[in-house]
């Protein structure tokens, strides 16, 4: 899909010939996130849709206790220090951002009075500032009013490197000014088409100035409020045991009428995903469980318990396979997989093409992930029916054999193909996780039939995903031929996500393997696209660039998608809870309720 086609689609939405939702889906198919698609529309003058409210209760409270299960419990409750989603989800019980992402990628106001747009004057024409109107009459849990000063303070707090806030990236390159008591302006250094980052969603939760003002910078760790949150959210803090329990009670002064529905909330941590699913789906001990990384086969059986159902929300996470472009078995200047080397066999595009044909995405979906992992070949992906025709899923052992045969890889007496004395033997690593090991087994078996020998290696997740410079088993070192993991699209904008393909980002000893290009692919063509995207201000053109980049990487078999990893949760049958793939699980907690 090129720029012209993109514009054509946007026009169809403008004229009402295509639904917003249809457009968002179409964009997802070519690898753009829903929030980015919504931004494209907003930029082209199609106002953001109002999130529809399905909230039914007509009075505050009365819903009893809401019991939710996170099999990894929250370990801290200051949203600026929240590392994983578990911590953000826990903080979200008490803290709120100005606006949250809804499942369709639209912004939903929380502490903002309205979403900025061209029409209401919130967005500057030059794209260099956004003005937010704050909701009036909101109070913190301790009764102090919420004002523009609090918003400005959060920016000062997070951007200070000495505070060491994990949210720093959203704040360090902007300036925030107070216009009046209930208005703030966020200013960008250069025109920024994607403005919806600071104060929004998971990294936008706001903490009160009056309790944190003395703990900015190096003293940040000593703030007593780090452990006893005081926010504006639907529930007020009651108790916190890291890794085990977060409890809250209803906020009687919550700023939205008739909300929240539940009188108290209990977020229990620990255990494993399967038993969490049991507690919701089979026994009904709990109302909601997070992140059901469980084989669909089991989930389906558990759903027969009749107490709950599985909810699947699309997001941007993808399980994918990486082909090492460098030689992991030769050490050069103290590092393996050095840029100075070339992979002895995988550098042959025909070999990569053959391996791609040996990945049975369909069976992996059907027999392992089921509903929780729709098959895809894209790196940036979307729902199947809109999937880019450019990257179809093809599994064909005969064809793979053919390709290898033609390329001169002949089977030896051991059944393994070789050429010039180099055998097609690969080591394939991933983290330890049941579905991953099964995926490995499926790929290994197909490869065997094509004369490729694969040795499976699995590394415990805490090592695999670590940044330990001394450890050879981390995913960024990539000291094997193939590897597989899930990459999370932390931000709706694919900018950082696509640095995977930038030659200057190649992970190496020099950058302590912090580079984002894990395969070490060196492609002038990809580099040019990325450079173009950096300076491109027109979001439509920029979107077209990313679409092209995705196709380039997939068709060259540098990476390949295996399955999508949508957000999967378990809900009791009575619970109404909207989960957004672009924001925290608990982002809409104020609107959760149970059918009577």
Distance, CA of 336 to CA of 330 (rounded, Å): 6
In whole angstroms, give the CA distance from residue 546 to residue 314: 20
| Residue from the set 45, 84, 306, 412 that interacts with other proteins by CB under 8 A | 84
Neighbours of 235 (CB within 10 A): 28
Check residue 168 for interaction with other proteins (CB under 8 A).
yes
Tell me how far, at minimum, the Cβ of 221 lies from other proteins, in Å: 5
Q: Which is nearer to other proteins, 345 or 480 (CB)?
A: 480
Q: State the nearest-atom distance from the C-beta of 84 to other proteins, in Å.
A: 6
Cα–Cα distance for residue pair 31/314, rounded to 1 Å = 12
Q: Is 13 helix (H, G, I), strand (E, B) or coil?
A: helix
The two structure tokens encoding residue 72 = 């990894």
Q: Report the residue from 496, 510, 525, 531 that binds other proteins according to the rule CB under 8 A.
A: 496
Does position 458 interact with other proteins (CB under 8 A)? The reply is yes
Residues 187 to 206: which contact other proteins by CB under 8 A?
203
Q: What does the alpha-carbon distance between residue 283 and residue 156 come to, in Å, rounded to a whole number? A: 47
Query: Does residue 166 touch other proteins according to CB under 8 A?
Result: yes
Restricting to residues 515-554, which ones interact with other proteins according to CB under 8 A?
Answer: 516
Which residue in the set 17, 50, 118, 218 belongs to the binding site for other proteins (CB under 8 A)?
A: 218
Q: What single string gives the DSSP state of each residue in 192-224?
A: -S----TTBGGG-----HHHHGGG-GGGGGG-G
Give the separation between CA 551 and CA 212, rounded to whole angstroms: 47
- Minimum CB separation of residue 574 from other proteins in Å reads 18
CA–CA separation, 88 and 112 (whole Å): 20
Number of residues that bind other proteins (CB under 8 A): 89
Chain position carrying tokens 């959060």? 154
Contacting other proteins within 251-280 (CB under 8 A): 266, 268-272, 274-275, 278-279
Binding mask 288-327 for other proteins (x = CB under 8 A): ------xx-xx--x---x----------------------
When binding is defined by CB under 8 A, the residue of 51, 88, 232, 282 that contacts other proteins is 282
CB of 40: closest distance to other proteins in angstroms?
22
3-state secondary structure of 161: coil
Nearest partner of 36 among 490, 393, 492, judged by Cα: 492
Pinpoint the alpha helices (H) of 317-387. Answer: 349-357, 361-364
Which of 226, 317, 338, 401 touches other proteins by CB under 8 A?
A: 226
| C-alpha–C-alpha distance, residues 482 and 489, integer Å | 21
CB of 279 to other proteins, least distance (A): 5
| Binder among 91, 225, 326, 491 for other proteins (CB under 8 A) | 491
C-alpha span between 258 and 252 (Å, rounded)? 10
Contact between 179 and other proteins by CB under 8 A: the answer reads no
Kindly tell me which residue out of 121, 462, 504, 528 binds other proteins, with binding defined by CB under 8 A: 462
Judged by CB under 8 A, the stretch of 40-48, 234-242, 344-352, 534-542 that binds other proteins is: 234-242
Instruction: Write the interaction track for other proteins spanning residues 412-441; mark x where CB under 8 A is met and - where it is not.
Output: --------------------x-x--xx-xx
3-state helix, strand, coil in the chain (%, to 5): 30, 20, 50
The one among 19, 50, 120, 514 contacting other proteins by CB under 8 A: 514
Q: Which of 23, 379 has the CB closer to other proteins?
A: 379
Options 5, 180, 398, 468; binder of other proteins; rule CB under 8 A: 468
Nearest to 516 by CA among 419, 390, 409, 379: 379
- Site residues for other proteins, 333-392, by CB under 8 A, read 363, 366-367
Q: Which residue in 332, 463, 552, 573 binds other proteins (CB under 8 A)?
A: 463
Order of all β-strands in the sheet with 453-459: 453-459, 425-431, 482-487, 318-323, 559-564
Where are the extended beta strands (E) located within 35-182?
A: 65-70, 99-101, 107-109, 129-133, 174-180
């Amino acid at each position: 899909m090129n720029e012209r086609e993109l514009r054509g689609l946007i026009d169809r939405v403008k004229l009402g010939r295509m639904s917003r939702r249809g457009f968002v889906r179409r964009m997802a198919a070519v690898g753009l996130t829903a929030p980015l698609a919504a931004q494209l529309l907003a930029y082209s003058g199609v106002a953001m849709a109002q999130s529809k409210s399905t909230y039914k209760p007509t009075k505050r409270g009365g819903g009893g206790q809401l019991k939710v299960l996170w099999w990894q419990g929250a370990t801290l409750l200051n949203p600026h220090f929240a590392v994983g989603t578990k911590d953000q989800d826990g903080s979200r019980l008490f803290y709120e951002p100005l606006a949250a992402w809804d499942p369709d990628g639209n912004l939903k106001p929380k502490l903002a009075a309205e979403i900025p747009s061209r029409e209401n004057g919130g967005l500057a024409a030059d794209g260099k500032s956004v003005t937010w109107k704050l909701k009036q009459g909101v109070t913190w849990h301790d009764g102090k009013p919420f004002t523009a000063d609090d918003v400005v303070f959060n920016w000062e707090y997070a951007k200070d490197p000495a505070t060491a806030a994990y949210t720093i990236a959203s704040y360090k390159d902007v300036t925030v000014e107070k216009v009046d008591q209930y208005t703030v302006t966020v200013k960008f250094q250069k025109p920024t088409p994607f403005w919806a980052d600071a104060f929004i969603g998971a990294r936008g939760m706001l903490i009160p100035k009056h309790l944190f003002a003395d703990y900015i910078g190096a003293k940040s760790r000593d703030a007593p409020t780090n452990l006893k949150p005081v926010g504006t959210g639907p529930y007020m803090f009651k108790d916190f045991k890291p890794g085990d329990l977060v409890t809250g009670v209803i906020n009687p002064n919550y700023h939205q009428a008739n909300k929240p529905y539940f009188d108290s909330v209990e977020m229990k941590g620990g255990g494993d995903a399967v038993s969490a699913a049991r507690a919701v789906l089979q026994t009904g001990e709990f109302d909601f469980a997070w992140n059901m990384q469980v084989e669909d086969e089991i989930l389906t059986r558990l759903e027969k318990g009749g107490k709950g159902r599985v909810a699947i929300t699309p997001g941007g996470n993808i399980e994918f396979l990486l082909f090492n472009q460098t030689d992991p078995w030769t050490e050069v200047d103290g590092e393996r997989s050095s840029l100075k080397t070339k992979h002895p066999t995988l550098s042959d595009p025909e070999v990569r093409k053959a391996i791609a044909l040996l990945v049975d995405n369909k069976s992996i979906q059907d027999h392992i992930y089921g509903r929780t992992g729709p098959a895809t070949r894209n790196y940036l992906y979307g729902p199947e029916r809109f999937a880019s025709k450019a990257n179809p899923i093809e599994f064909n052992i005969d064809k793979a054999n053919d390709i290898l045969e033609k390329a001169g890889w002949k089977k030896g007496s051991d059944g393994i193909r070789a050429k010039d004395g180099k055998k097609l033997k690969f080591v394939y690593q991933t983290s330890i996780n049941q579905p991953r090991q099964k995926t490995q087994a499926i790929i290994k078996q197909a490869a065997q039939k094509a004369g490729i020998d694969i040795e499976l290696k699995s590394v415990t997740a805490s090592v695999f995903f670590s940044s330990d410079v001394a450890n050879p088993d981390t995913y960024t070192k990539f000291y094997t031929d193939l590897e597989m993991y899930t990459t999370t699209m932390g931000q709706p904008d694919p900018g950082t996500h696509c640095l995977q393909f930038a030659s200057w980002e190649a992970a190496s000893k020099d950058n302590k393997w912090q580079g984002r290009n894990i395969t070490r692919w060196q492609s002038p063509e990809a580099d040019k696209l990325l450079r173009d995207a950096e300076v491109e201000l027109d979001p439509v053109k920029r979107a077209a660039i990313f679409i092209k980049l995705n196709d380039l990487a997939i068709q060259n078999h540098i990476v390949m998608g295996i399955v999508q990893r949508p957000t999967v949760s378990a809900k009791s049958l009575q619970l109404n809870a909207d989960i957004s793939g672009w924001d925290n699980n608990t982002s809409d907690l104020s609107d959760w309720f149970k059918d009577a």
